[in-house]
Amino acid sequence: MKVSIPAVILGASGYVGGELLRLVAGHPTYALQVAVSDSGAGKSIGELFPHLDQALAGHTFAAHGEWLDQLETDSTLALFSAAPHGASAAIIANAIAACDEKGIEVHVVDSSADFRFAGKDEWETIYNARHGAPEILDQFICALPEHVGDINAAHVGHPGCFATASTLATAPLIQSGLTEPEVFISAVTGSTGSGKSPQAGTHHPERNSNFYAYKPLAHRHAPEIAALAEAVSGRKTTVHFVPHSGPFARGIHVTLQAKSKAPVSEKELREVFEKAYANAPFVQVVSGTPRIKNVVASNQCHIGVATDGDTVVVMASIDNLVKGAAGGAVQWMNRLWNLPETEGLDMPAPGWT
C-alpha cells in the first residue's frame, strides 16, 4: 500500500497557492491536510477556486494561527509556502520549530523570495527589508533541480519565475565557455506573474492589447539569475535584464543574447543544451523558436537557439505559475522525499489556451 504524505500549503488563496492546490489534488503521494490563508479562513476551497470544488470538496481554508495545532506527533509533512515575500520566512521558521517539538519529519519548499540568497545581507539589500528568519538560512538551498544532484539541505527556496526561465537558458551557455560571461535578457511575462491582488499593471483595460517594459536593468531578479548561473558554471556572470508585461495571463518567454568568443554554429549550441538537459525530464530543446502555448499549464520548459556566428541567441518558454512556481516546487518536493521527480507533474500542455 502506497504511503501518503500530508501536505500543508501556506498562502493558499493566491495564484501560486491555487496552482499548488491543483497539483497536490492530483498528486498520487501528497494528501492535502491544510490550506492556509488568513483572507480565506473559513471559506471552502471551491468558493475561492471553483475549478477545484470537486477535486477538493470538503476542504476549507484555515488561518495561520490555527493549522499548527492540527499536526500529528511523529508524522511527516510536505510544507509548501506561497506566502508573500518578507512574510514567508518567519511563518516557516515557526512551522519548522513546531515540527521539531512534535517529532515531525518536514521538508519545506518556499516559492517566495525569502530563501533565494544564502546570506541575509544580500537579501536585505535587494529587498530593502529585514529578513524574517536569518537563523534558518543555512537549512535551505536555492537552485533549480535540473542543475544540482544530491543535496544536503532539508529545504529549498524555489527561484522566481523569471529566474527559472532565464537560468535554464543562461547556465549551460556560460558553463560551455562558448560566449563571454555577459548576457542580455529580454523577458515577457503574463499578468498572473503580478499576483492575485488587483493593481494597475494587471488591470484588464491597461494590460489587454498592451505591451511594455518595467524596471529595465533594475529588476531584483537580475542578481538572482547571476547567482544561480554562477553556481552552475563557476564563472562570474553579468546579467542585463529587461522584463516586460505581456497581454496574456500565463507564460514567460525569455530571449537571451550573448557574444561568442569564436564563430559558433547552431549545431554546437544545440549540443550544449541537449547535453546539459539530457537527463532533465521537463526541459526540451526544440527546433526553431519556443512558444508559450506549447508549455502553458505544464511543468515543461522549451528551449531554442540561434546564431549568426558572432551573436548567440537562446530562447526559453515556461508557464510562470507551474514550472516557474508551483510545479517547480512540487518537482523539488518530490526530490526531497526521494520520489520520482516527475510524479504528479507529467501532464502535457493543453496547447490551445
Please state, in angstroms and rounded to a whole number, the distance separating the CA atoms of residues 300 and 316.
10
SS3 state at 171: helix
Query: Which H or E element spans position 35?
Result: strand 30-36
Chain centre distance of CA 69: 29
By annotation, the residues acting in catalysis are 161
Burial call 6-43: b when 16+ CB within 10 Å, e when fewer: bbbbbbbbbbbbbbbbbbbbebebbebbbbbbeebbee
Distance of alpha carbon 332 from alpha carbon 160, whole angstroms: 14
Give the separation between CA 30 and CA 11, rounded to whole angstroms.
17
Angstrom distance (rounded) from CA 213 to CA 186: 9
For residue 240, CA distances in Å to 29, 216, 344 come to: 41, 9, 35
- Contact 121/164 with Cβ under 8 angstroms? no
Residue 330 in contact with residue 23, Cβ under 8 Å?
A: yes
Q: What is the C-alpha to C-alpha distance for residues 338 and 260, in angstroms, rounded to an integer?
A: 39
